[in-house]
């Protein structure tokens, strides 16, 4: 294991109950990363999704994939404590199998591009080698002001032009 939850929390701003990464197993800086999310019955979302038939919500699997990809992106940013990564888009998301308590998600993310504040990654989540979810994720890196709020500049996700 390259990073445990303590090491991950030194890089990502997420905390319980929204930290959805337990370990990092493999990493090629600026290229690819492999992370683990252990799915247990104690997860808060299983209380209501769905009682008696627990299934991990697909949006939280996507979030786990984004956190693992974001960790790779933030590793090489010198002032990462002054940055946030915002989700800017999701393409080609496909949900191939349910993820249930006891499963271990093995998430691989590959950087497709990283230009200016914008990044695109391809990500796959597998359980026991079987593809559960795949997607292409886009994010925007924004600066955090001294008061802890995000900058609203031309580099902000709020200013990403929308294609019509």
Q: Which residues are marked as active site?
A: 49
- Tell me how far apart the alpha carbons of residues 153 and 159 are, in angstroms, rounded to a whole number: 7
Tell me the three state secondary structure of residue 96. coil
Spatial distance between the Cα atoms of 110 and 43, rounded to a whole number of angstroms: 27
Length of the chain, please?
Answer: 164
Is 21:64 a contact under the CB 8 Å cutoff?
yes
Task: Using alpha carbons, list the distances in angstroms from residue 87 to 16, 25, 69, 111.
Answer: 19, 24, 11, 15
Contact 32, 108 (CB under 8 A): yes
């Amino acid at each position: 294991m390259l990073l445990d939850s303590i090491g991950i929390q030194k890089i990502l701003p997420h905390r319980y109950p929204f930290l959805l990464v337990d370990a990092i197993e493999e990493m090629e800086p600026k290229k690819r990363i492999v992370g683990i999310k252990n799915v247990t019955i104690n997860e808060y979302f299983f209380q209501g999704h769905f009682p008696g038939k627990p299934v991990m919500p697909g949006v939280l699997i996507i979030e786990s994939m984004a956190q693992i990809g974001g960790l790779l992106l933030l590793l090489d940013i010198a002032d990462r404590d002054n940055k946030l990564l915002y989700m800017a888009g999701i393409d080609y998301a496909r949900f191939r199998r349910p993820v249930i308590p006891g499963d271990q998600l093995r998430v691989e993310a590959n950087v497709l591009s990283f230009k200016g504040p914008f990044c695109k990654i391809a990500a796959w989540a597998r359980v026991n080698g079987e593809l559960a979810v795949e997607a292409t994720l886009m994010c925007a890196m924004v600066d955090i002001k001294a008061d802890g709020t995000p900058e609203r500049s031309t580099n902000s996700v709020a200013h990403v032009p929308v294609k019509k």
